Amino acid sequence: MEIKFGLISTDSHVAHNRTDFTSRMSAQKWGDLIPHVMEIERGGEKVEVWGTYGKPGRASELDLCNCPAFMGEPFPKYPKHWEEVPRIAYDPAERLKALDTDGVDAEVLFPNTGAPGMAFYPYGDPEFELDAVRAYNDTLSDWVRVSDRYLALAILPMIQEPTDIAREIERAVEGGHRGINMGGMGGAGPAGLPPITHPRWDPMWAACEQLGVPVHFHAGGGFGGGWGSSGALRAGSWSGYTRRQDHSVYTSGCGVGPARTIPHLIFSGLTQRFPRLKFVFAENGISGFNYAIAACDHEWETRRLWTQGIPIRPSEIIRRQMYGAFWFEDEGIKTRYDIGIDNIMWESDLPHVSSFYPRSWTVVERILVGVPEEERRQMLYENALRVYPIEATVAIGKDR
């Protein structure tokens, strides 16, 4: 990879072409269960949304393609029909133009809200789950073949045996994937299975550690809320309380994600069993790390957890294995030494509503005022090169 801008996003979102699943899954075997774009009625009008396993999505404005950064004015707006979806959102060759416009060298690709890829285990069909997961992961492998600037994250078939999950991780890595995404899980374990910190899942974690691929928790994903949870980060809605207000409540609360999840990873013994396993928290900001560090160290000391199989101070484990990302949070940058310069990366959230595209550099420069150049390089791209890991040639020019 060539670093010509000096900026890597560790949280962006892949949008799907409407044929990504229908072209990769057997129509004879699965028919209309295959994820596809379908028409429904919403608010008295016909709109299109993604449907999976014969069921439409949530019928919200996000459910065809969550791509307001590419939709122009009035902002934010979302496509209601497939012909309105900008090609730059789902075509990997076109999307490279967006990266160049924004001055971004590469981006880590998470699933997109509403589209298939959050989780396929809720349908309770192990065979369907495996086929759909493979179709998703193969789609992202095709993106990687278009350009090494795409850092794909594999999703996992969580109601398979852990050894079979490990094989899918290996297959995805062979296809160019750089990590795995646990965002659709909620942390508690799918379909009544033990939580993901339970030793049952150790073959999965062992594969990640051996292959050097980091584990990702996104937004509220993890323990205590997220895509696969009961909605712990939302309070409900009523007449006059808009979807946009509700979304703002949810995303503003995502900063607690690391503080909710890190204690599970450490005090369960998972990080003790897998000391080289890396965890990335995306779309959480970085300030939550400060609380996690303080709280976990406090609990470790007062409860003398070194006598119960946790011999290393939690703050040392966090700085050894865990990473966060900022994009608007200048307050977090002020505490960067407490968190650790080596543990901080940047993200864009493209093409979502909170993305600063196409002016990401304007915001980066504002947030990093006064930060020494060496630290800027670390947080903006060097840490990402190390975490994923990526062989790169640095050829940064004067123009962005």
**What is the per-residue pLDDT across 294-320, written as a single tens digit (0 to 9) for each?**
999 999 999 999 999 999 999 999 999
Token pair for 106: 């590469």
Which residues touch 16 (CB under 8 Å, ≥6 apart)? 50, 90, 112, 115, 116, 117, 139
pLDDT reading at 3 higher than 70: yes
| pLDDT score of 287 more than 60 | yes
The C-alpha atoms of residue 131 and residue 282 are separated, in whole angstroms, by: 27
Residues whose CB falls within 8 Å of the CB of residue 368, separated by 6 or more in sequence, listed in order: 333, 376, 379
Contacts of 256 (CB under 8 A, 6+ apart): 224, 284, 288
Strands of 341-389 (E only): list them.
Answer: 344-346
Domains and CATH numbers, the chain: 2-29+90-394 (3.20.20.140)
- What number is the average pLDDT over the span 164-168? 98
Mean pLDDT score, 325-340: 92
pLDDT higher than 70, residue 230: no
pTM: 0.94
Predicted pLDDT at 229: 42
126-146 and 162-174 helices, crossing angle to 10°? 20
Query: What are the DSSP E strand ranges found in 113-175?
Result: 150-154
234-250: average pLDDT:
76
User: In degrees to the nearest 10, what's the CA dihedral of 332, 335, 339, 341?
Assistant: 90
